[in-house]
Amino acid sequence: MLDYIQHHDNQYRLVLIDYKMPQGTGCELANKITDINSRIEMVLITAAANDIVKNNLNLELIHKPLRMYQLLHIVTKYMS
């Protein structure tokens, strides 16, 4: 995915990122995306407690389980 973003960064305005992933944390991915294009908005989705998530970019944090109305709110908020 990161390779695709690197070559098509102008096609992205919002990326929803799960905090816990097999290759690392969502924050690590967010830092890499920021290095590619700092204008891409990102939101972290997690089941972890707030104090566990190391969120140096101060990204919005949404907790699982994620409801459809929450997802619609996030997309509307960042895409308008």
pLDDT by position in tens, the chain (length 80): 899 999 999 999 999 999 888 988 899 999 999 999 999 999 999 887 766 667 788 889 899 999 999 999 999 999 98
Give pLDDT, residue 52. Answer: 65
At 7 the pLDDT is: 94
Look at residue 79 in the predicted model and tell me its pLDDT.
92
Phi, psi for residue 23 in degrees, rounded to 5 = -90, -5
Kindly report the number of other CB atoms within 10 A of residue 14's CB atom: 13
- Measured CA to CA in angstroms, residue 55 lies from 4, 58, 76 at distances of 24, 5, 23
Contact 19, 11 (CB under 8 A): no
- pLDDT of 15 reads 96
- The domain defined by 2-79 carries CATH number 3.40.50.2300: yes
CB under 8 Å, gap of 24 or more: what pairs does 68-72 form?
A: none
Q: Where are the domains of the chain?
A: 2-79
- 3 state SS of 31: helix
